[in-house]
Amino acid sequence: MATIKTFFSKSGLFKQRICVIKSCIQQNGMSSYPSFYINPIYKKEEQEQLKKEGELSKLTHVPTRAALNDQTCSFTQDPDLNLFTNYCMSDGKKVLARSQVEQTLESIKRLQLEKYHKCKTDEDRAKIELNPKVVFHKAVENCKPILQLTPIKRGGVKYQVPVPITAKRAQFMSMKWLISAGKEKEKPVRFHLQLARELIDASNNSGRVVKKKQDLHKQCEANRAYAHYRWS
């Protein structure tokens, strides 16, 4: 864009028409949509919310982008679980990653049911969560760190400085730790089984990943004296 502009301005061609040409050339990065196209609202709750507020009628005739492949209001699709699948994926093998995550959910169900049937009293049974998706969400929530250590150089010395992190980053770290814990296993144990165990442990606020999070918090606490060394 810039080169075209300089070429035209130097050559003196189309000097008056440069505005017209500018509007014809794509300005929205690599997107095939012009910048005034709005993102689709694909969730039913959001649509109803807009309907209540009376904003929906304003959006009816605004040009809208087509919904992406994973933007759906389906009950079977969980955005966090889809994200987790993508983090599990390596070399673009999505089918494999998806099957592994599905197998993980299945083994969570099996493990929990086994525990459930071993229980003798109703009180113990009530404590066990049988829905694997709920277990997954609980595990991710329990493993989210609050702080992070970043190396900052001051006077030739690198200090590990505790800094707060955003919700998105916390979620990413939690999922990454869970997956890496699933990969740390003996050879005969399958990934999905180990991941299921880790998820169940984390949902009960115990296990290796929660320990890892607490270790990070302890390190942050030890380095709290450097907290004012921050830029970012």
Q: Rule CB under 8 A: which residues touch another protein?
A: 146-147, 162, 164, 166-167, 205, 214, 217-218, 220-221, 224, 227-228, 230-232
CB of 215 to another protein, least distance (A): 9
CB of 6 to another protein, least distance (A): 22
Residue 50 or 227: which CB sits closer to another protein?
227
Residue 64 or 223: which CB sits closer to another protein?
223
Residue 183 or 224: which CB sits closer to another protein?
224
Q: What angle do CA 184, 187, 188 make, to 5 degrees?
A: 120
Residue 5 or 224: which CB sits closer to another protein?
224
CB of 140 to another protein, least distance (A): 14
- Non-local (6+) Cβ contacts of 76 within 8 A are none
Which residue is listed with tokens 């009293």?
A: 121
CB of 146 to another protein, least distance (A): 6
Side chain identity at 151, as an amino acid letter?
Answer: P
Angle, helix 94-118 to helix 79-88, in steps of 10 degrees: 110
Residue 90 or 166: which CB sits closer to another protein?
166
Residue 159 phi/psi, 5-degree rounding, is: -105, 140
CB of 230 to another protein, least distance (A): 5
Which residue is listed with tokens 């505790």?
A: 162
The three-state secondary structure class of 194 is helix
CB 135 within 8 A of CB 204: no
